[in-house]
């Protein structure tokens, strides 16, 4: 229950989605899941970002001392095993032609799911290719970028600022997320600015704002979504 709370609430989905709704980005990016208003086109949902952050939040719980005893840690490790098994089974089904029976057997051997629960999970992976792999892939990327920033900035690295930077623009492709973090690292090295990417500044001719990294991140995300659609 502890890992589930961290995943779904704070600092997981609820926290990240709150940032997304308040992000300084166009409304079509903030409200991408309002399916009643999708026609004729809507921006796709970036699963690896959303679920990756939520799984990273479970890891943060361990750093924060939220898991208070061995039973709660056992629950965390059980959930970790479950996400790792998903990587194997999804790949097995869609790349190596695993049968449902083989996938269910693997699930039962390496997780604490019941036969009925395992069967439902396999039905999900079979009809939603790749979705379940986004959790661990996204978490790995968040950890990778955190280490990259920490190694690059040394004593200038601030974990709270890093978290603010990765969440402040809402959901995005992992490639765009890496770009955002790289720009934040550059800014921290040059001026120690708080909060990551700088806001647009007026051009010398006062013709309008200079194209900033904020705008570029939105453009890159939109282009990526259109290409993939």
Domain ranges of the chain: 2-133, 154-228
Say what the pLDDT of residue 26 is.
73
Say what the pLDDT of residue 22 is.
82
Q: Which of 36-45, 61-70, 169-178 has the lowest mean pLDDT?
A: 36-45
Residue 92's alpha-carbon distances to 30, 118, 128, in angstroms, are 35, 15, 14
Among residues 60, 11, 10, 29, the alpha carbon closest in space to that of 176 is found at: 29
Say what the pLDDT of residue 102 is.
98
Tell me the pLDDT tens digit for each residue of 86-105: 999 999 999 999 999 999 99
- pLDDT confidence bin for 211, thresholds 50/70/90: very low
Distance CA 106, CA 159 (A): 38
- pLDDT confidence bin for 203, thresholds 50/70/90: very low
Say what the pLDDT of residue 187 is.
94
């Amino acid at each position: 229950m502890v890992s589930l709370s961290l995943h779904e609430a704070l600092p997981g989905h609820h926290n990240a989605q709150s940032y997304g709704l308040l992000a300084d980005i166009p409304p079509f990016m903030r409200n991408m899941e309002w399916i009643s208003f999708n026609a004729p086109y809507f921006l796709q949902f970036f699963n690896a970002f959303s679920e990756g952050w939520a799984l990273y939040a479970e890891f943060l719980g361990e750093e924060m001392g939220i898991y208070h005893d061995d039973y709660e840690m056992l629950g965390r490790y059980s959930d970790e095993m479950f996400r790792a098994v998903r990587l194997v089974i999804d790949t097995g089904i869609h790349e190596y032609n695993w049968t449902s029976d083989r996938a269910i057997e693997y699930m039962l051997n390496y997780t604490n799911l019941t036969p009925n629960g395992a069967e439902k999970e396999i039905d999900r992976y079979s009809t939603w290719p790749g979705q379940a792999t986004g959790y661990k892939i996204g978490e790995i990327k968040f950890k990778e970028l955190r280490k990259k920033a920490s190694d690059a900035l040394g004593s200038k690295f601030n974990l709270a600022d890093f978290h603010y930077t990765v969440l402040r623009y809402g959901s995005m492709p992992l490639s765009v997320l890496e770009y955002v973090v790289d720009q934040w690292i550059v800014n921290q090295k040059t001026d120690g600015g708080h909060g990551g990417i700088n806001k647009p500044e007026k051009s010398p001719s006062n013709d309008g704002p200079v194209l900033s990294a904020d705008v570029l991140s939105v453009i890159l995300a939109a282009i990526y979504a259109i290409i993939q659609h």
